[in-house]
Amino acid sequence: SRDAPFDGGAPATLEEIAAGVQVCRRCDLWRDATQGVPGEGPGRAKLMFVGEQPGDQEDLAGQPFVGPAGQVLDKALAAAGVPRTETYVTNAVKHFKHEQRGKRRLHKTPDAGEVVACRWWLDNERRIVRPRVIVALGATAVFSVFGKAMPISKARQQALQLPDQAQGVVTYHPSYLLRVPDADAKARAYAMFVEDLKFAWALAA
């Protein structure tokens, strides 16, 4: 049952979270995933990034944002002057949801039930890391971090107070930046993303 103590009580450390995510049965996504992907970064980071869920490469590597979206994030962080190693990077959902199409595993957006089930882990990461600023990358992260939907283009570039003392910032998901079809629009979206990373880093300073 979902209530069985597979992951014990509330974790006290990031190591306990990493171990707990591997045996989590709070939803069914563990069944088709290689492994759980916990957050990564210093336990006292001032800035926390929350993505959606691991992708194909993250599922294989066991680390967040190491695939194509991670490369966009890394490039934008460098452009914004934000050292990734000083930030904590995690996801709203810790297992890769996908469907098999031939040899390819295609990403499927996690549903609200899966996001709510996995919020237990994110809430524990927030409680342990206590970041000054939490950046929600894209709609799934916005729903997980704020508990409601928000239009990203209207809510970006603002410090949004969260109940746990942290300030919330919303911006686009790096995968979205890869999908914008028009080249000019893509460049503008990427520039806004870099501005949002700068904004969040300054807010956390």
Tell me whether residue 11 or residue 64 sits nearer to ligand URA (CB atom): 64
Q: Which of 69, 135, 150, 194: binder of ligand URA (CB under 6 A)?
A: 69
- Nearer to ligand URA by Cβ, of 20 and 51: the residue is 51
Q: Is position 52 an interface residue for ligand URA (rule: CB under 6 A)? A: yes
**Contact between 126 and 134 (Cβ < 8 Å):** yes
Q: How many residues does the chain have?
A: 205
Q: Which one, of 202, 201, 205, 204, lies nearest residue 77 by Cα?
A: 201
Tell the smallest beta-carbon distance from residue 69 to ligand URA (Å): 4
65, 91, 123 from 10: Cα distances, Å: 25, 18, 10
Closest to ligand URA by CB, 55 or 168: 55
Can residue 59 be called a binding residue for ligand URA (CB under 6 A)?
A: no
Query: Could you give the C-alpha distances from 177 to 14, 74, 173, 183, 185, in angstroms and in order?
Result: 30, 13, 7, 10, 9
| Secondary structure E strands in 27-97 | 47-51, 88-91
Site for ligand URA in 123-182 (CB under 6 A): 175
Residue (7 or 58) nearer to ligand URA, CB: 58
Q: Using the rule CB under 6 A, which residue among 36, 38, 39, 55 binds ligand URA?
A: 55
State the DSSP code for 161: E
Chain contacts with ligand URA (rule: CB under 6 A): 51-55, 58, 64-65, 67, 69-70, 91, 175
